[in-house]
Chains A and B, each alone.
Chain A
Amino acid sequence: MAGVAFREATKRFGGAVALDRLDLEVGDGELLVLLGPSGCGKTTALRLVAGLEEPDDGAIEIGGRVVNHVEAKDRDVAMVFQSYALYPHLSVGRNIEFPLRQRGFDRDERRRRVADAASTLGLSELLDRKPRQLSGGQRQRVALARAIVREPQAFLMDEPLSNLDAALRTQTRADIVALQQQLGTTTLYVTHDQVEAMTMGDRIAVMDHGVLQQVDRPQALYDRPANTFVARFVGSPGMNLLPATLEQGAGGKWEAQVAGSALAVPETAATAAGGAGAALVLGVRPEHVGIGPHGTVDATVVIVELLGAEVHVACRLGDGTNVIVRQDAAAPRPAHGEAVRLAVAPASLHVFHASGARVESGAGVGHAPVPGEGATP
């Protein structure tokens, strides 16, 4: 086992930059989730580690060794492809055995390991079947078995759950985490699903357009997003973002003008953001917006969505900005089209520069210490 590192790794396809100076380390034995929307360069990053692509600039390291020019077959990593890429002409047993054959394990050792991997993943009964005779979930497990059968330096998993139905996905998610902890193998896990990322990763690296946005523990990512992209992408629904202008009101208090209404902003954040007249983006999680007479921002209710335990109320501000409010299902529900007032506690406000970057204003500010965080429904 070994850590995996990207050192300023850049990959271009023609003129397009698929991966832009990616600097990222996956610690030995760690499960790091690479999260980002489709087309942001996640698969490209994995393929660089697997040796299926070479970086145009920068380096890839496995176990502290630069492997830029090491061929895929000599890298000793295992990859689970999004399509599973099973060998259609080989039985399940032969599929799992394939990497062992390539590395010259003797027959008894091969048989023992295939049996082990198959029983770990509940495939013992299916060893003689062909991949086409399996369900999606079974194929996915064969792909996993083929990866774990030879204790590689690292696992690379490319959205392995995206072809499964919701129930199976939740189950397999837990299985993979348990398996990874049991084996202790360094794992780079790619997904576009933030729920999957939040529940699985030791740490999450968020990417957009080939650029790394933030690397942090799931909770930290939720509580202190580094920019508006992460704020929107992590969380379901994502953070509400309100364009605002900073003003110093009567008595020296800092206020942000949002769609004609005023929201109080902590002073530290206000000074760090550039003082009076600065253009800002205010962020607030849906669960930190209240509806009631104590509110300060005028809005109209557009949609009320009931999701069982909770209710999402979509409101529109005077300037057309949408704000989602997450409420308990038991709370009084506003009606469609109703004019309401929204309340936001200054402590739960995230302040971003107009450019999208977070306004760094010392510890505590912008942090939302709410018990029983509802990051993942």
Chain B
Amino acid sequence: MSRRRRVREAALGYLLVLPALCVFAVFVFYPFAQNFRLALFQAPPFPGLPSRYVGLHQVGQVLTSSSFLESLVATVLFVVMVVPAGLLIGLLLAVAAHRRLRGMAVYRVIFSSTVVTSVAVSALVFGTLMDPVVGLLPWLGLNPSPPILQNTTWALPAIAVMAVWQFLGLSFIVMSAGLSSIPEEVLEAARVDGASERTVFWRVTVPLLSPTIFFGTVVATIYAFQTFGQVDILIGPTNAAFEHVNLLVYNILNTIEIARTTGQAAVLSIVLFLLTLGVTLLQLRLVERRVHYAQ
């Protein structure tokens, strides 16, 4: 009886996830698997001819190419710039907005608004702000030469600033959720015990927030690895600083769109996948041990 019921319940469960599973299968699992096959074939020199099986040869070729190495360096630098800044600023905004003050709701809306801002719009806004003629920088008396978005030193940080800004909304929301899960009484206990606000923050709030910070780190890392739009809209392959801002995802697109070498693009995709997976696993192993989960 109870066994039959359990079987029926399980069947119902599978039935309910079936639509989602179909969508995932078509748009995620199949392309994901197909990508591994693509990596083993070399694209023909002219479209229309059959692809040639080259096995792992192509993998070595891509991994040793200077374009890939530049792209890798740029991507890693980018991740290092975006993740800590995005999390820290999100946390500070969340702490500021957590106080129960009149009108704070307006700020919460503003802080989380970047989640619903499209990358294209924000890239255009930032592009204007960084414009060497009409932008904010010349107005401030800062006029790097070459202009910031063509500058081999400053183009990547400039894109990182945009990415951080874009990520702030999510970071703020995640951190706010984490903060509101901390029992207010624990913070109050620390105050009564004689802790200054600074001590409360570093000795109580941050440790109790560590599961959230950890989660945020994983999400931010994946987000940074996958940044694409800002580069596509503001940099482009003809930019003077291009190879310093050629983030992996953008590189993949270029490899397909311009070089038309799908096999190489597939290899790059696999590298991006392994990189993301590796960093996430590393974070899971290293950081999670130090995370304090309250019961």
User: In the complex, what residues of B have CB within 8 A of residue A52's CB?
Assistant: 188, 191-192
Bound-state Cα–Cα, A79 to B189, Å:
7
Task: Tell me which residues from 156 to 195 in chain B have a Cβ below 8 Å from any Cβ of chain A.
Answer: 183, 185-186, 188-195
Quick check: A83 and B207 within 8 Å, CB to CB?
Answer: no
User: In the complex, what residues of B have CB within 8 A of residue A51's CB?
Assistant: 191-192
Q: Does A73 contact B (CB under 8 A)?
A: yes
User: In the complex, what residues of A have CB within 8 A of residue B194's CB?
Assistant: 73-74, 76, 99, 102-103
Q: Does B88 contact A (CB under 8 A)?
A: no
Q: Does B196 contact A (CB under 8 A)?
A: yes
Quick check: A85 and B196 within 8 Å, CB to CB?
Answer: no
Q: Which of B192, B208, B210 has a CB less than 8 Å from the CB of A77?
A: B192
User: In the complex, what residues of A have CB within 8 A of residue B294's CB?
Assistant: 88-89, 132
CB distance from A319 to the nearest CB of B (A): 47
A69-94, CB under 8 A of B: which get 1 and which 0? 00111111111010101111100000
Q: Which of A50, A89, A102, A103 has a CB less than 8 Å from the CB of B208?
A: A89
Residue of A nearest to B200 (CB): A73
Q: Does B73 contact A (CB under 8 A)?
A: no
Quick check: B292 and A81 within 8 Å, CB to CB?
Answer: no
Q: Does B137 contact A (CB under 8 A)?
A: no
User: In the complex, what residues of A have CB within 8 A of residue B207's CB?
Assistant: 89
CB distance from A88 to the nearest CB of B (A): 4
Quick check: A88 and B295 within 8 Å, CB to CB?
Answer: yes
Q: Which of A78, A88, A89, A103 has a CB less than 8 Å from the CB of B192?
A: A78
Q: Does A21 contact B (CB under 8 A)?
A: no
A102-129, CB under 8 A of B: which get 1 and which 0? 1100000000000000000000000000
Q: Which of B186, B199, B210, B295 has a CB less than 8 Å from the CB of A85?
A: B186
Q: Does B129 contact A (CB under 8 A)?
A: no
Quick check: A85 and B208 within 8 Å, CB to CB?
Answer: no
Interface size on A, residues (CB 8 A): 26
User: In the complex, what residues of B have CB within 8 A of residue A88's CB?
Assistant: 186, 208, 292, 294-295
User: In the complex, what residues of B have CB within 8 A of residue A75's CB?
Assistant: 192
Q: Does A146 contact B (CB under 8 A)?
A: yes
User: In the complex, what residues of B have CB within 8 A of residue A103's CB?
Assistant: 194
Quick check: A98 and B193 within 8 Å, CB to CB?
Answer: yes
Q: Which of B192, B208, B292 has a CB less than 8 Å from the CB of A72?
A: B192
Quick check: A85 and B189 within 8 Å, CB to CB?
Answer: yes
Quick check: A73 and B189 within 8 Å, CB to CB?
Answer: no
Quick check: B183 and A83 within 8 Å, CB to CB?
Answer: yes
Contacts A88-B292, A88-B294, A132-B295 given: A50-B192 contact, CB under 8 Å?
Answer: yes
Q: Does B204 contact A (CB under 8 A)?
A: yes
Quick check: A81 and B191 within 8 Å, CB to CB?
Answer: no
User: In the complex, what residues of A have CB within 8 A of residue B183's CB?
Assistant: 83, 85
User: In the complex, what residues of A have CB within 8 A of residue B196's CB?
Assistant: 73, 102
User: In the complex, what residues of A have CB within 8 A of residue B189's CB?
Assistant: 79, 81, 85-87, 146
Bound-state Cα–Cα, A75 to B193, Å:
9
User: In the complex, what residues of A have CB within 8 A of residue B191's CB?
Assistant: 51-52, 71-73
Bound-state Cα–Cα, A88 to B295, Å:
8
Quick check: A72 and B185 within 8 Å, CB to CB?
Answer: no
Quick check: A89 and B292 within 8 Å, CB to CB?
Answer: yes
Task: Tell me which residues from 241 to 295 in chain B have a Cβ below 8 Å from any Cβ of chain A.
Answer: 292, 294-295
Residue of A nearest to B207 (CB): A89
CB distance from B141 to the nearest CB of A (A): 43
Quick check: A72 and B188 within 8 Å, CB to CB?
Answer: yes
CB distance from B54 to the nearest CB of A (A): 54
CB distance from B214 to the nearest CB of A (A): 13
Bound-state Cα–Cα, A78 to B192, Å:
6
Bound-state Cα–Cα, A77 to B188, Å:
12
CB distance from A113 to the nearest CB of B (A): 14
Q: Which of B190, B192, B210, B295 has a CB less than 8 Å from the CB of A87?
A: B190
Bound-state Cα–Cα, A126 to B183, Å:
24
B198-217, CB under 8 A of A: which get 1 and which 0? 01000010011010000000
CB distance from A210 to the nearest CB of B (A): 21
Residue of A nearest to B206 (CB): A89
Residue of B nearest to A72 (CB): B191
Bound-state Cα–Cα, A98 to B195, Å:
9
Residue of B nearest to A132 (CB): B295
User: In the complex, what residues of A have CB within 8 A of residue B185's CB?
Assistant: 81, 83, 85
Residue of A nearest to B194 (CB): A102
Residue of B nearest to A131 (CB): B295
CB distance from B109 to the nearest CB of A (A): 23
Bound-state Cα–Cα, A85 to B187, Å:
8
Bound-state Cα–Cα, A222 to B191, Å:
38
User: In the complex, what residues of A have CB within 8 A of residue B295's CB?
Assistant: 88, 131-132
CB distance from A143 to the nearest CB of B (A): 8
Residue of B nearest to A149 (CB): B193
Quick check: B193 and A99 within 8 Å, CB to CB?
Answer: yes
User: In the complex, what residues of B have CB within 8 A of residue A87's CB?
Assistant: 186, 189-190, 204
Quick check: A102 and B186 within 8 Å, CB to CB?
Answer: no
Q: Which of A83, A89, A102, A132 has a CB less than 8 Å from the CB of B193?
A: A102
Bound-state Cα–Cα, A103 to B192, Å:
11
User: In the complex, what residues of A have CB within 8 A of residue B199's CB?
Assistant: 102
Q: Which of A76, A98, A132 has a CB less than 8 Å from the CB of B190?
A: A98
Residue of A nearest to B185 (CB): A85
Contacts A132-B294, A132-B295 given: A85-B195 contact, CB under 8 Å?
Answer: no
A304-343, CB under 8 A of B: which get 1 and which 0? 0000000000000000000000000000000000000000
List residues of A whose CB falls within 8 A of some B CB. Answer: 50-52, 71-79, 81, 83, 85-89, 98-99, 102-103, 131-132, 146
Known: A85-B186, A85-B188, A87-B204. 10 other contacts (CB 8 A): A73-B191, A73-B192, A73-B193, A73-B196, A75-B192, A85-B189, A87-B186, A99-B194, A132-B294, A146-B193
What are the 8 tightest A-B residue pairs by CB atom distance, in nearest-first order?
A102-B194, A89-B292, A85-B189, A99-B193, A88-B294, A85-B185, A132-B295, A72-B191
A–B Cβ pairs within 8 angstroms, 18 of them:
A51-B192, A73-B192, A73-B196, A75-B192, A76-B194, A78-B192, A79-B189, A85-B186, A85-B188, A85-B189, A89-B292, A89-B294, A98-B193, A98-B195, A99-B194, A102-B194, A103-B194, A132-B295
